[in-house]
């Protein structure tokens, strides 16, 4: 299986258009600090077809930055076979509207996420005149086979709904993905409200783990003046501190241990921040955009 890292930022990106925090201001001065919204592409081989995990507002720019995802010269075509969603949050779904030029768009998500997109964003209704949109149920109890020999399964991580779907019933609103290829396996978890037993089981034998690195510490949201006081209250376990994931992450046997979905308030936005060395000492890195992993 081949994995391409397309983006690594939490909602808003880095820089966020209306933010002048240290990370966003730094990203305006140094292009190397910039991060697009978190997403990966996966394929059973280096030749595709490819599945994009989450459709961010940056999706078509991410395709243009990644030759693997571009059409061969000639007519209209795409090596993209579908979009797999971990949740229905806007930073992971607005890009679906940007795919309207495709002849068909195939979405894999949990039932709750599809309901949110249908009722809250009117996705199916809006895209119907443009493209052939289809949905496949992503379940926790069975793997869905993908083109190219991959299999994907949902690992429920949180019941947190997007704000636009506040009136929708409870369900599997946010999941991690376990993706298995012929030789390697990946767990992708950009949103972790807690380190559940189910998730731990999937992580125990994964070759690559890409986890929620939204916040460095639990107090970061209040220090930055965000609406909710702590990382944990926002449904994101922080990296450091007593509730932090780093120590447990360091003990996983995974060959590749990467954080993604960095908020612009995260000190890791600065490539020279000492926090990078702290993670490196534990065998953990921050995912870099453009990175390729062969599993």
- Closest residue to ligand MLT in the complex (CB): 11
165 binds ligand MLT (CB under 6 A): no
Q: How far is CA 198 from CA 140, 143, 160, 204, in A?
A: 10, 15, 17, 10
108 binds ligand MLT (CB under 6 A): no
For residues 11 and 89, the answer to whether their CB atoms sit within 8 Å is: yes
19 binds Zn ion (CB under 5 A): yes
Phi and psi based region of residue 261 (left: phi greater than 0; alpha: psi -120 to 50; beta: remaining): left
Q: How far is CA 142 from CA 138, 190, 212, 286, in A?
A: 8, 21, 24, 30
Binds 234: which of Zn ion, ligand MLT, Mn ion, none (CB < 5-8 Å by kind)? ligand MLT
Residue 10 or residue 208: which is nearer to ligand MLT going by CB? 10
Q: Which two tokens stand for residue 259?
A: 């954080």
Binds 24: which of Mn ion, ligand MLT, Zn ion, none (CB < 5-8 Å by kind)? Zn ion
- At residue 256's C-alpha, the angle toward residues 255 and 260, to 5°, is 160
Count of alpha carbons within 13 angstroms of residue 160, beta-carbon side: 17
217 binds ligand MLT (CB under 6 A): no
11 binds ligand MLT (CB under 6 A): yes
* Minimum CB distance to Zn ion, residue 61 (Å): 19
Q: What are phi and psi of 248, to 5 degrees?
A: -70, -40
Site string for ligand MLT, 56-95 (x = CB under 6 A): ---------------------------------xxx----
Helix then strand count (H, E) for the chain reads 9, 14
How many of the chain's residues bind ligand MLT (CB under 6 A)? Answer: 8
24 binds Zn ion (CB under 5 A): yes
Binding residues vs ligand MLT (CB under 6 A): 10-11, 89-91, 191, 234-235
């Amino acid at each position: 299986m081949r994995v391409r890292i397309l983006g690594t930022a939490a909602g808003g990106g880095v820089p966020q258009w209306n933010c002048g925090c240290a990370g966003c201001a730094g990203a305006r001065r140094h292009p190397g600090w910039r991060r697009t919204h978190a997403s990966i592409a996966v394929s059973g081989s280096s030749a595709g077809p490819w599945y994009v995990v989450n459709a961010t507002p940056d999706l078509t720019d991410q395709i243009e930055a990644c030759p693997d995802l571009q059409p061969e010269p000639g007519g209209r075509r795409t090596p993209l076979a579908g979009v797999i969603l971990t949740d229905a949050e806007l930073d992971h779904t607005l890009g679906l509207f940007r795919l309207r030029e495709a002849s068909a768009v195939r979405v894999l998500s949990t039932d709750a996420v599809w309901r949110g997109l249908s009722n809250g964003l009117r996705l199916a209704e809006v895209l119907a005149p443009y493209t052939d949109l289809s949905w496949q149920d992503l379940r926790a109890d069975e793997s869905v086979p993908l083109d190219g020999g991959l299999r994907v399964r949902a690992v429920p991580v949180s019941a947190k709904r997007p704000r636009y779907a506040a009136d929708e019933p409870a369900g599997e609103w946010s999941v991690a993905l376990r993706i298995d290829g012929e030789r390697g396996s990946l767990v992708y978890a950009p949103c972790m409200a807690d380190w559940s037993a189910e998730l731990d089981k999937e992580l125990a034998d994964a070759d690559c783990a890409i986890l929620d690195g939204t916040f460095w510490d639990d107090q970061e949201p209040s220090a930055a003046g965000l609406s909710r006081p702590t990382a944990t209250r926002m449904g994101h376990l922080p990296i450091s501190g007593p509730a932090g994931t780093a120590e447990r992450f360091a003990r996983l046997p995974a060959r590749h241990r990467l954080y993604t979905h960095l908020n612009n308030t995260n000190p890791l936005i600065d490539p020279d921040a000492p926090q990078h060395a702290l993670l490196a000492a534990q065998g953990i890195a921050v995912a870099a955009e453009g990175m390729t992993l062969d599993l």
